[in-house]
A and B are shown apart, each in its own frame.
Chain A
């Protein structure tokens, strides 16, 4: 079974631009979560989508948004990029049905650099 894939793997943008990152979950998984990883703040939860609906949201400004498609693929968008948005963005997938103890499988991440 193919793992979680994220595209692109690396991205360079300038301040003020917007960016869209993509995540394809493991086949059959309906839940996709996004995390931001930075040296200063560590791993922080952005949001979770399940069956095309946002099920949970972290404490990030409205510039960060996401969506999920009917095939469970998910995208996250960051508008008006700031230098502080430079980070590794990780996507994780799970069935979304097995509750709190369910394992989430992480993709390799997209490394975003904002200049």
Chain B
């Protein structure tokens, strides 16, 4: 079975500081991994995805994530936080043997302190 664990339901960083949101996955087959962001009263917007090509994936708004198979991780980072980054972030996994449905983590709420 597939699952995603996001460590830290709430993360606070100062504006300009490094953002690190953690995601660990469990999958018996090669996973496809996604990070989505959700702003209040909105749907989910794709930040980036890993689809078995380069292990370091660059996304929108300066975010990137690195797929580490040995650690079963796909942590999201951004070198310098901006106030507009405050939102809920979701990590998700999909695999070919589960009908392509997403399994989402429980989300991490990011607060940016001015």
Residues of A within 8 A of B (CB): 4, 33, 35, 42-45, 48, 55-56, 58, 90, 92, 99-109
Contacts and interface: CB of A to CB of B under 8 A. Distances in A.
Q: Tell me the interface secondary structure of chain A in the complex.
A: strand
Which of A48, A92, A100, A108 has the most CB atoms of chain B within a 10 A radius of its CB? A100
Contacts of B90: 43
8 contacts: A33-B102, A35-B104, A43-B90, A48-B101, A92-B44, A103-B49, A104-B102, A109-B43
B91 to A, nearest CB: 11
Which of A92, A101, A106 has the most CB atoms of chain B within a 10 A radius of its CB? A101
B100 A107 contact: no
A19 B106 CA distance: 26
A42 B106 contact: yes
A35 to B, nearest CB: 7
Contacts of B36: 106
B99 to A, nearest CB: 4
Contacts of B107: 42-43
B43 A4 contact: yes
A109 B107 CA distance: 17
A45 B101 contact: yes
Given A33-B101, A42-B105, A56-B100, A100 B43 contact: no
Given A45-B103, A102-B100, 11 more contacts: A4-B43, A35-B102, A42-B104, A42-B105, A48-B101, A90-B43, A92-B44, A99-B96, A100-B51, A100-B96, A101-B32
